[in-house]
Structure 1
Amino acid sequence: MARKYFGTDGIRGRTNEAPMTVELAMKVGQAAGAHFLRGDHRHRVVIGKDTRLSGYMMESALVAGFTSVGMDVILFGPIPTPAVAMLTKAMRADIGVMISASHNPYQDNGIKLFGPDGFKLSDEDEAAIEKALDKAPRLAAAEAIGRAQRIEDARGRYIHAVKATFPEDLRLDGLRVVLDCANGAAYNVAPAALWELGADVIAIGVQPNGTNVNDGVGSTAPQALQQKVLETRADIGIALDGDADRLIIVDEKGKIVDGDQIMALIATGWQRRGLLQGGGIVATVMSNLGLERYLEKAGLTLHRTAVGDRYVLEAMRRDGFNVGGEQSGHLILSDYATTGDGLVAALQVLAELVESGKPASKLLACFEPLPQKLQNVRFKSGAPLETDGVKAAIADAEKRLEGSGRLVIRKSGTEPLIRVMAEAEDPALVSAVVEDVCEAVRRAA
């Protein structure tokens, strides 16, 4: 059944436009709260957010919704998504909420929900909550209305947990790290964690003002990081996104290192230390074929899933893997976190860097990626992928790539975009195929 509100990563949209309105946020609080009212204990929800201006508004609406059905609320303020997931379980909460639109611009916002185990909600739970959104809520009696409070030590708890993932016998002394926090949720915790481990931290994207999250900084705009790494002669650059569940690296030469190379490094490093589970890693259909070939040479497998970190995590939990992620930088290390955590993944990279003594440009060039091109086409309405012209263009592209490459076409789960990706040994063929399909989509859109 098609979803009305939930996408691949919660509910997301432009603020003050359906569905991302205060009315819906309050209803989400009521519906999700009622869904998790199980047992006779005092029920609790924890809520974090990133630095968007609209976060205050959405937070207040969610508080009203949860308390109206009898749930107590604990507010963290700005804190990374993985911190909310961790603290949901650690504080024995019945549900966790993150208010963020991740890497999207400040005009957007979103609501991500976590169950009491710290994992994102199952399809069944989301479907039940979505169904309840269109019904009258079951309001608590006056004496059972929930209470709300804000706690100040959530960031410290997360910093302590993150540092515990770094090998005890290593330090970051003498390592110059440029850290880009995207003016987002990690602007405070990420620099503190690296500094406490001994790094010389040069922080950018750490002055949020409500409207500058992901604006020219962060993992989706790494040019500022590249420039600062070269300017300061840093050993490595680290870029997080607005809610810090995504990681992109820049080596000492200013070259961008994507999630595929990072997964390759972590997988083989963990294999060497006997930590890797499942005999390989989990990644999506977007990951480069070069990664798959690299892992095969190391005696490891690459299990592919649909795009979306929730699908990666589902496969990891089902099949016993402890490393997975996406080329875009969502990296899940399930020994340490129940969702993608950019800072935890960055510490694993830094541990390899310190232990190996190699420059980042050598360490992180694990494999030669096949020429790959990803292009997005925005559309306003309708279903352009269902038109005859687009179907014909796709069929032609697949025929041209047969035996030499891959074509992946999908509708974004968070934005009105059609994403077209191709890869093959011949870069000219890749470029031509992508452009032909995109042109067909533009005509249909």
Structure 2
Amino acid sequence: MGRLFGTDGVRGVANADLTAELALGLSVAAAHVLAEAGTFEGHRPTAVVGRDPRASGEFLEAAVVAGLASAGVDVLRVGVLPTPAVAYLTGALGADLGVMLSASHNAMPDNGVKFFARGGHKLADELERRIEAVYEQHRTGEPWARPTGAGVGRVSDYDAGADQYIAHLIGVLPNRLDGVKVVLDEAHGAASRVSPEAFARAGAEIVTIGADPDGLNINDGCGSTHLEMLRAAVVEHGADLGVAHDGDADRCLAVDAEGREVDGDQILAVLALAMREAGQLRKNTVVGTVMSNLGFKLAMEREGIQLVQTAVGDRYVLESMKAEGYALGGEQSGHVIVLDHATTGDGTLTGLMLAARVAATGRTLADLAGVMSRLPQILINVPDVDKSRVTTSAELAAAVADAERELGATGRVLLRSSGTEPLVRVMVEAADIEQAKAVAGRLADVVKSALG
């Protein structure tokens, strides 16, 4: 069996890669592993289960619920809610386990299963590996230990979850949003109800697009991966800003009043300054990844804020934040984690905090985001090469050194092996887009010749 868990749960084409049998088996395995780890010791276990609106989420939810209940876990079904809402409710309700069914920004045919531990935190790598091992052990013939009678889990709907989550979001905002007009693109996804309601309750004037999920249209030409409709709507309605989520609303991208994109790095820069001003930016540090734009790094240096960079993936950002006690971190893609108020990236919270900063300062989003200049960034994927030699090739090392000398202090080179494909990613930043293209192209050619 290949590795099931990726960086964000188990994903695949629903009913092909991710079947009902797999979802059920993983849920039973998770219950057994957490029981062995002592998570359920001394009490009857409870799990919170939510999903995004994908059609396949309906049968996958049924499979997960059946698996958990058959393993003796009581289940609270919260229905269609964002991933961060399921994480929050797992902690707020004192549940032992949270399960979210979503493939985030992926196209509709895909789906995924993501587990949260007690408190709403992502499972540690070792627990995911143990779940895989236990699942495979029983898939190949060893029977499960099954409770009977009163020992089986009970299933109930928890209808208060959405309002509880919305109240939490509004309760942590530093100020209201009165006087701010916001266009919200919900990607026909999991936040289609809660995000507009949260913004409206916080005082914003809202225009909503992409908020009519039918199970088939999630992420279809809308949301954080397709900003065209949001740009047009912001300009058409004369809004102060636009906010776009992905299918499970764990990320947020924005556009300013002129329809220009404000990415995750720029959002982090705006929030870092706001949190420092409020005395909330612990250790005067923000966490990004190695893919954070060099302009973000330079802006933080200029503002006297330390930037810690991790491997690509919000789980690595979160690990660094938890280990060192940092309050703010995120990725260029719009995964932003405000650890005092969320255990994972929360697109609705991020959008609310961004709008709150506009309301509090009276400044435009373009002005606020202008704290950093986003340097041109060129990314080239070089396929069919020996990615294992990317750090050991003398020819490649010499080419990178030459490129870095050419770019100087206002440029950067990053070569990274793909975690899932036989390719190497070549990323070059420079003050001039043509220079970035030229350097990236030369390095891509060296990667092909040196590692091909």
Q: Map 1:162-311 to 2 at 5 A.
A: 162-167=169-174, 170-311=175-316
TM-score, normalised relative to structure 1: 0.92
Give the partner amino acid of 1:47: V
CA 1:435 to 1:25, structure 2 compared with 1: closer, same or farther past 3 Å? farther
Once the 2 structures are TM-superposed, how far is the Cα of residue 435 of structure 1 from its aligned partner?
4.0
Q: What secondary structure sits across from 2:106 in the alignment? A: coil
CA 1:440 to 1:269, structure 2 compared with 1: closer, same or farther past 3 Å? same
Which has the higher mean CA deviation after the structures are superposed, 350-359 or 170-179? 170-179
* Residue from 165, 168, 173 that aligns with 1:161: 168
CA 1:9 to 1:441, structure 2 compared with 1: closer, same or farther past 3 Å? farther
Task: Tell me the residue number matched to 2:5.
Answer: 6
Q: What secondary structure sits across from 2:225 in the alignment? A: coil
CA 1:384 to 1:50, structure 2 compared with 1: closer, same or farther past 3 Å? farther
CA 1:91 to 1:129, structure 2 compared with 1: closer, same or farther past 3 Å? same
Once the 2 structures are TM-superposed, how far is the Cα of residue 414 of structure 1 from its aligned partner?
7.5
CA-to-partner distance for each residue in 1:353-389, whole Å, 9 max, x for gaps?
0111111111122111222123457x7xx8752479x
TM-score, normalised relative to structure 2: 0.90
Q: Is the 8 A contact 1:182 1:206 kept in 2?
A: yes
Give the partner amino acid of 2:438: A
Task: Tell me the residue number matched to 1:318.
Answer: 323
**Between the two proteins, what is the percent identity of the paired residues?**
44
Once the 2 structures are TM-superposed, how far is the Cα of residue 425 of structure 1 from its aligned partner?
2.9
Give the partner amino acid of 2:211: V
Alpha-carbon distance in 2 for matches of 1:120, 1:218: 24
Q: Say if 2:33 is the partner of 1:31.
A: no
CA 1:113 to 1:366, structure 2 compared with 1: closer, same or farther past 3 Å? same
Q: What secondary structure sits across from 2:317 in the alignment? A: helix
Structure 1, unaligned runs of 5 or more: none
Alpha-carbon distance in 1 for matches of 2:359, 2:97: 38
Alpha-carbon distance in 1 for matches of 2:418, 2:59: 26
* Residue from 40, 43, 48 that aligns with 1:41: 43
Alpha-carbon distance in 1 for matches of 2:420, 2:103: 9
CA-to-partner distance for each residue in 1:5-56, whole Å, 9 max, x for gaps?
11111111222233x2222111110110111223131111111111111111
Alpha-carbon distance in 2 for matches of 1:100, 1:40: 31
CA-to-partner distance for each residue in 1:92-149, whole Å, 9 max, x for gaps?
1111011111111111111111100211011111111111111125332221221212
Q: Say if 2:159 is the partner of 1:138.
A: no
Please tell me the root mean square deviation across aligned C-alpha atoms, in Å.
Answer: 2.4
Q: Is the 8 A contact 1:100 1:111 kept in 2?
A: yes
Q: Is the 8 A contact 2:429 2:436 kept in 1?
A: yes
Once the 2 structures are TM-superposed, how far is the Cα of residue 417 of structure 1 from its aligned partner?
7.5
Alpha-carbon distance in 2 for matches of 1:45, 1:240: 26
Which has the higher mean CA deviation after the structures are superposed, 191-200 or 394-403? 394-403
Which has the higher mean CA deviation after the structures are superposed, 150-159 or 248-257? 150-159
Alpha-carbon distance in 1 for matches of 2:274, 2:118: 32
Once the 2 structures are TM-superposed, how far is the Cα of residue 320 of structure 1 from its aligned partner?
1.5
Which has the higher mean CA deviation after the structures are superposed, 435-444 or 235-244? 435-444
Q: What secondary structure sits across from 2:243 in the alignment? A: strand
Structure 2, unaligned runs of 5 or more: none
Q: What secondary structure sits across from 1:348 in the alignment? A: helix
CA 1:113 to 1:236, structure 2 compared with 1: closer, same or farther past 3 Å? same
Which has the higher mean CA deviation after the structures are superposed, 432-441 or 87-96? 432-441
CA 1:438 to 1:212, structure 2 compared with 1: closer, same or farther past 3 Å? farther
Q: Is the 8 A contact 1:247 1:330 kept in 2?
A: yes
Deviating runs (4+, > 6 A) in structure 1?
A: 390-393, 414-417, 439-445
Q: What secondary structure sits across from 2:118 in the alignment? A: coil
Once the 2 structures are TM-superposed, how far is the Cα of residue 289 of structure 1 from its aligned partner?
1.2
Alpha-carbon distance in 1 for matches of 2:52, 2:399: 41
CA 1:439 to 1:59, structure 2 compared with 1: closer, same or farther past 3 Å? farther
Alpha-carbon distance in 2 for matches of 1:268, 1:8: 29
* Residue from 358, 361, 367 that aligns with 1:362: 367
Once the 2 structures are TM-superposed, how far is the Cα of residue 157 of structure 1 from its aligned partner?
0.7
Q: What secondary structure sits across from 1:103 in the alignment? A: coil
Q: Is the 8 A contact 1:280 1:295 kept in 2?
A: no
Q: Is the 8 A contact 1:7 1:413 kept in 2?
A: no
Give the partner amino acid of 1:200: E
